[in-house]
Structure 1
Amino acid sequence: MSVSRPDCLFCRIVAGEVPADVVREGERVVAFRDVNPQAPTHVLVIPRDHYPDAAAAGAARSGLLDEIVREAGEIARAEGIAETGYRLVFNTGSAAGQTVFHLHGHLLGGRGMEWPPG
């Protein structure tokens, strides 16, 4: 794991080089609105440090995934969707739909979610 990568879009957002609609910042995570929202609330929650995906962050055993989930819950409460329900998605790998290879959780809510997704 490297702290940041100059070729990574999300590392550049964390560094303030690329603008984003930030909704919450913490010591280890940043959350911002998705530029292509798939629901009325669509926020990406990312670590400040670069991990390529959820599996890499989990293997590091740093508690980072717990922190991302906790922050997503706080955002859901602030956005008014915690009571009605929300979805938190981690795509891992291109076959799963991951397009930016920096760990990010998609917080989706504000509409009904179907099952199965995809």
Structure 2
Amino acid sequence: MDDCLFCKIVSGEIPSDGVAESEHAVAFRDVNPQAPTHVLVIPRVHQPDIGSLAEAEPEATVDLLRLAKKIADDVGGSYRLVFNTGADAHQTVFHCHAHVLAGRELGWPPG
């Protein structure tokens, strides 16, 4: 997608604060962190949300989840993994992405 922010990060056109990468996914620090550790994990392929990614690219979905777990394990302790899907769920970039949140107590319900 020519106008997708995350596609431009994957291609290297836009720089990011990279944390890790794998065959199918890239991870980088969120520019507006909501926790001491707030990392976005995105697939290299463009899909608008996690459901679409799971249907179209199951191998990429598993790889994305493994990379998210690795990042969380490296931080240690508890973490939250969040996928916002759709505008009403406050998804602002319509390229599938997981938020890995850690480093503080994460209240419930989220907010």
Q: How far off is 1:14 after superposition?
A: 0.4
- Residues in 2 aligned to 1:106 and 1:23: alpha-carbon distance in whole angstroms: 13
Q: How many pairs are equivalent?
A: 111
Matched, 1:55 2:51: yes
TM-score normalized by the length of structure 2:
0.94
Q: Which has the higher helix share?
A: 2
- Residues in 2 aligned to 1:13 and 1:89: alpha-carbon distance in whole angstroms: 20
Q: Secondary structure at the match of 1:63?
A: helix
TM-score normalized by the length of structure 1:
0.89
| Stretches of structure 1 lacking an aligned partner (at least 5 in a row) | none
- The superposition leaves residues 28-79 of structure 1 with CA deviations (integer Å, 9 ceiling, x where unpaired) of 100000000000000000000000111211222523222212111111122x
Percent of aligned pairs sharing the same letter: 58
| Equivalent runs, 1:1-118 vs 2, <5 Å | 5-60=1-56, 62-78=58-74, 80-81=75-76, 84-118=77-111
Runs of 4+ in 1 over 6 A off after TM superposition: none
- The superposition leaves residues 83-104 of structure 1 with CA deviations (integer Å, 9 ceiling, x where unpaired) of x200000000000010000000
- Residues in 1 aligned to 2:36 and 2:69: alpha-carbon distance in whole angstroms: 16
Q: Secondary structure at the match of 1:88?
A: strand
